[in-house]
Amino acid sequence: MEIDKTLASSDRLVDENKRLISKIGSLLARWEGILVLIIIGMVIVFSNITPYFLDYFNLMNATFTFMEKAVLALPIIFIILSGDIDISGAAIIALSSFSMGFASSHGAGTAQVVITGLAVGALAGAFNAVFIINFGIPAIAVTLATQSFFRGISQAILEDQAYTHYPESFSYFGQGYIPGTIIPFELIFFLVLAGIFAYVLHFTSYGRKLYAIGNSATAARFSGVPVNRIRFTNFVLHGLFAGIVAVLLTSRIGSTRPNIANGWELEAITLVVLGGVSITGGKGSIVGVILSIFLIGYLKFGMGLINLSAKVMIITTGFLLITAVLIPVIIDAVGRRNKLKMQRRRG
């Protein structure tokens, strides 16, 4: 009797171990699991190469270099999930920053400067949305054109000049710390926004509708989903967030030049795709994008500590992006192949 109980207990233990191994395998098969492994590997490598990598002060200050791009990436998740694209983000930042500089040079206070930046960003996003939704022009064509238009305005007026005078309190948004700590305000601000986006995407009907539109806009429309209204909202939201990034970036560097944030739109899209959001829409999560943001941010920080050139950083980021695109395809192909084999065996 005692032997039977021991054997039964042993069997349960084996079954529990198998389930645990199966769960770990499933987790690692997901792109988020792979990103976690890459981050762990990165931390191990850099912490062994340089003692400055795991310094708390350095880790906190390093976030200043990528939090603005992280904020810009959040609304792009919604846009790509619903099957669209917007490459005018950096140009909207330039236009918003120019508007803030213009307002500040005419005596506007901090609140007025911030409101100006947000309003111009939202209006620029709505400008894109009208042409894409109301006139049915492809998003890539519209945002490619407005990319030149928005940045061209600031370039035409500023030329090689710059706005450099902003209210003193304005600098807190991009340079400030949470009182009594060395935690940057931008980091906490991003984490709060990411939490809100995660809630909306994964726990509300708006998020479910985004996935539905990304999988098939036609099917979603026949199911009663207000496809155009949601897409319009996404583009306005993207413009508003580009305005927020303009506030953070202008506040941090303390000036506005026509080439501000040049190339950031592609870096933000890279963060989203690297985070596992399907470029064709319908698949992805906030968690994956947050992991990719910290992976790329601290990867560049680590490479900077050991004096690797910017070209190496670009090549490394490109390699990770290719990997992000290929691995889900390979996992899906292997899964379909195994499923087909099992069906043949049963047949």
- What domains can be seen in the chain, in order of their start residue? 40-326 (1.10.3470)
Residue 205, pLDDT score: 96
The HSE-up count of residue 121 (CA atoms within 13 Å, CB side) is: 27
pLDDT at 265 over 70: yes
Which of 106, 95, 97 is closest to 153 using CA atoms? 95
Max alpha carbon distance in the chain (Å)?
91
The pLDDT of residue 297 is 94
With a CB cutoff of 8 Å and minimum separation 6, the contacts of 220 are 209, 212, 213, 227
Average pLDDT, integer, range 9-34: 66
Q: Which residues contact 143 (CB under 8 A, 6 or more apart)?
A: 85, 86, 87, 88, 128
Q: How far is residue 17 from each of residues 20, 21, 26, 236, measured CA to CA in Å?
A: 5, 6, 14, 49
pLDDT band at 6 (very low <50, low <70, confident <90, very high): low
pLDDT at 266 over 70: yes
pLDDT of residue 21: 57
CA 163 – CA 158 distance, rounded (Å): 8
Lowest mean pLDDT among 21-25, 139-143, 214-218, 289-293: 21-25
Say what the pLDDT of residue 5 is. Answer: 65
**pLDDT, tens digit (0-9, with 9 covering 90-100), for 80-99:** 999 999 999 999 999 999 99
Task: Return the DSSP state at 184.
Answer: B
- 278 or 29, greater pLDDT: 278
What local confidence, expressed as pLDDT, does residue 340 receive? 80
For the segment 204-260, what is each residue's pLDDT rounded down to a tens digit?
A: 999 999 999 999 999 999 999 999 999 999 999 999 999 999 999 999 999 999 899
Taking the C-alpha atoms of residue 101 and residue 113, their distance in angstroms, rounded to an integer, is 8
What are the pLDDT digits (tens) for 180-211? 999 999 999 999 999 999 999 999 999 999 99
The string of pLDDT tens digits covering residues 96-144 is: 999 999 999 999 999 999 999 999 999 999 999 999 999 999 999 999 9
**Amino acid identity for residue 236 in this structure:** V
Query: Is residue 299 classed exposed, middle or buried when 0-12, 13-18 and 19+ CB atoms within 10 A define those classes?
Result: buried
Q: Are 246 and 89 in contact (CB under 8 A)?
A: no
Instruction: Tell me what pLDDT residue 137 has.
Output: 95
CA dihedral 92, 98, 101, 106 (to 10 degrees): -120
Query: Is the predicted pLDDT of residue 18 greater than 80, yes or no?
Result: no
Quote the mean pLDDT of the chain. 89
